[in-house]
Amino acid sequence: MEGYTILKVIGDGSFGRALQVEQKSSCEQYVMKEIRLPKSPTGIQNSRREAVLLSKMKHPNIVAFRDSFEADGHLYIVMEYCAGGDLLQRIKQQKNTPFPPDMILSWFAQMCVGTKHIHDQRVLHRDLKSKNIFLTSDGAVKLGDFGSSCVLNSAKAYAYTYVGTPYYVSPEIWDNKPYNNKSDVWSLGCILYELCALSHPFQASSWKSLILKVCRGAYTPLPAHLPYELHYLVKQMFKTNPRDRPSLHTILTSHRISRLLQKHLPLHELKEGMKEGRTSRWERDEGEKVAAFLGQKTILSSSSVGESFSETSDPMGKGERERPRRRWAREPSETVLEVLGNAELTSTSSCTSSSREHRSSPEFTPRSLISEESEISHRRQWDKSPPERLLSLLEKAPVSMAFKTFTVLRPDGDNPLVGPLSPARRDDTDGLVGDAVDDSRLEPRSDDEDTDFEEESPCDWVGELEKMITAGE
C-alpha cells in the first residue's frame, strides 16, 4: 500500500472499494481493488480467486494484472487503469447518436479475442456485461472483473456457485442447466446488441417478461441501417439453444462476419486465428483425451456422459455432424416457458430471432414444442416444483436489479442467495479450496475451440433458492 498514492475512489461496492491510484516509483496510474477479507479460510480463498485468475490472464484485451497483496484484513488487487471507463458509461454518453459500424466491429472483435483467450484456457467469465468491459485511452477494449469467473475442473466447491446478471443471462441458465462457453457468447451478444442499438435487447418491465423474452430469444430488431452481417451475427448469438450458438472460435475464423472482424484485429491475433483455422478439425481420439481431462463430463462419446446425442443443425457448415455432441434441448427453456405459460405474452410479435414461427402462435404451449417422447426423457427435467416461487420472489424486486450480479451459493445449506434480494454475505461463500487453479489447465490448447464445454456439476440453484424460501417461511 505504501508504494501507491490514492488519487480517488472510483467505486464502492459490496466487495469493498475500487481506487484509482498512482504508483510512487513510476508515476503510472492503476486501479486498486480493496476487498474486505472474510474470516473463514474458504472465504479468503474465494476472495483471492479474482487475483489468481487475473494474474494468469495475460492478453492485450484483458485488463492487465499488476500486483496483489494483503494488508489490514484486506486483499488488494492492482490492475491496469483503463482511462476510457467502462462500456456501459460509454454507451450512455452516446445518448441517441449511434456508434459507427466500424467502431462496433472493432470493439466487438477485441471482446471476442479476449473472451476466446479465456475460453482457450477453459475459463468461463460468467459475468460479461458492458459494465465489465473497459476502454483504454487509445481505444483498446479490455475484459475485466473476473470476480465471477470459474475455472472448469478446479475446486468442486466452485461448481455450486451460480453467478450472472439477469439481463445478460442466457436461456439455459434460467432453465437450471450448466453454464457453458456458449453462455458467455450469449452475454457477448447482449453487449454487441447494446453497441448497435444503444439499448438492451431484452427490455422488460417485469421479471416474468424479462425471463420470457430471454428464453424465447425475443429481441427488438436492430436498427435497419446496420450492416447485414451484424443483424445476422446477433441473431446467431441469440439462438436459444447453446448448441446452435457459434463459439468465439467460429465467430473469429469461419463465420460470415469473420472477415469484417479480422480487419479490426491486430496482426498477431489474425495470425493466431488463421493458424487455428487450419487445425480446427478435432480428431476423435484427441477429443476423448480432452473429455477424460474434463472428467468425461463434456462433449464427445455418448457412452461417457450417458446422454443421447443427435444430429443438430450446423449453421456454420463446418461439418460438425460427424461429431457426436452433447445434445441440448432445441427449444427455448421448456421449464421456464411452462411456468410462464399463463403469463401475459407481451413479446411474441417481436420474436425476431426465433426460427420457428409457431413460437409466436397464440395456441403455443411449451409442451407442444417437444415432439419426441425420447427427447423428453433425455432432457434434464425439473425434479422439484417449477419456479413460480422464484418468479414471485423476483417480482418483489425492481427489475432494474436485473442489471446486477447475482450469486447463488450452497454453503452448507446456509442462505444460498447473495445479491440484491438479500443482504450480501461474503464471509461464507464457497470457492477455491487451496490453490485450486490448476496451472496445466491454463496452458494454451490446440484442439478445436468450437467444442462446447460447461461447468462441472452445476448447482440446482433454483432448487436451492426454493429451499431457502421454504425455510424462511
Ligand X SMILES: Nc1ncnc2c1ncn2[C@@H]1O[C@H](COP(=O)(O)OP(=O)(O)OP(=O)(O)O)[C@@H](O)[C@H]1O
Q: Which residues are catalytic?
A: 127
CA dihedral sign, ordered 119, 117, 147, 399:
negative
Q: How far apart are CA 293 and CA 191, in angstroms?
A: 32
Q: Does 424 bind ligand X (CB under 6 A)?
A: no
Q: Does 145 bind ligand X (CB under 6 A)?
A: yes
Q: Are 255 and 233 in contact (CB under 8 A)?
A: yes
Beta partners for residue 76, in sequence order: 34, 69
- In the chain, the N- to C-terminal Cα span, in Å, equals 46
Q: Does 82 bind ligand X (CB under 6 A)?
A: yes
| In the block, residue with C-alpha cell 477453459 | 122
Binder of ligand X out of 7, 14, 308, 389 (CB under 6 A): 14
Which residue, 145 or 448, has its beta carbon nearer to ligand X? 145
Which residue, 257 or 418, has its beta carbon nearer to ligand X? 418
H-only helix segments in 238-348: 248-253, 258-262, 267-278, 284-293, 302-305, 334-339
Q: Does 430 bind ligand X (CB under 6 A)?
A: no
Name, in order, each residue with C-beta under 8 angstroms of 465's C-beta and a sequence gap of 6 or more: 387, 389, 390, 393, 408, 416, 417
Nearest to 311 by CA among 301, 322, 302, 300: 322
Q: From 35-43, 143-151, 287-295, 347-355, give the range in contact with ligand X by CB under 6 A.
A: 143-151
Q: From 11-19, 185-193, 263-271, 360-368, give the range in contact with ligand X by CB under 6 A.
A: 11-19
Query: Shortest distance, CB of residue 8 to ligand X, whole angstroms?
Result: 10
Binder of ligand X out of 10, 140, 401, 421 (CB under 6 A): 10
Which residue, 11 or 413, has its beta carbon nearer to ligand X? 11
Query: Shortest distance, CB of residue 148 to ligand X, whole angstroms?
Result: 8
Query: Shortest distance, CB of residue 366 to ligand X, whole angstroms?
Result: 33
Annotate each residue in 382-421 with x if it binds ligand X (CB under 6 A) or - if it does not, as one string.
-----------------------x----------------
Binder of ligand X out of 3, 13, 277, 398 (CB under 6 A): 13
285: exposed, middle or buried (C-beta count within 10 Å: 0-12, 13-18, 19+)?
exposed
Ligand-binding annotation for 33, yes or no, is yes
Nearest to 240 by CA among 365, 332, 368: 332
Q: Are 116 and 252 in contact (CB under 8 A)?
A: yes
Q: From 77-85, 98-106, 189-197, 262-270, give the range in contact with ligand X by CB under 6 A.
A: 77-85
Which residue, 13 or 221, has its beta carbon nearer to ligand X? 13
Q: Does 31 bind ligand X (CB under 6 A)?
A: yes
Binder of ligand X out of 11, 41, 223, 413 (CB under 6 A): 11
Query: Shortest distance, CB of residue 24 to ligand X, whole angstroms?
Result: 19
| In the block, residue with C-alpha cell 450480479 | 405
Which residue, 10 or 469, has its beta carbon nearer to ligand X? 10
With CB under 6 A as the rule, give the number of residues binding ligand X: 21
Binder of ligand X out of 50, 80, 172, 454 (CB under 6 A): 80
Binder of ligand X out of 21, 32, 33, 461 (CB under 6 A): 33
- Cell, residue 327: 445434445
Binder of ligand X out of 38, 43, 114, 144 (CB under 6 A): 144
Beta partners for residue 35, in sequence order: 16, 75
Element (H, E) at 465: helix 461-472
Q: Which amino acid is at 156?
A: K
Name, in order, each residue with C-beta under 8 angstroms of 197's C-beta and a sequence gap of 6 or more: 220, 222, 223
Annotate each residue in 113-132 with x if it binds ligand X (CB under 6 A) or - if it does not, as one string.
------------------x-
- Cell, residue 190: 447482449
Q: How far apart are CA 35 and CA 20, in angstroms?
A: 14
Contact set with ligand X (CB under 6 A): 10-11, 13-15, 18, 31, 33, 63, 79-82, 85-86, 131, 134, 144-145, 147, 405
Q: Which parts are annotated binding residues?
A: 33
Query: Which residue ranges are tagged as binding site for ATP?
Result: 33
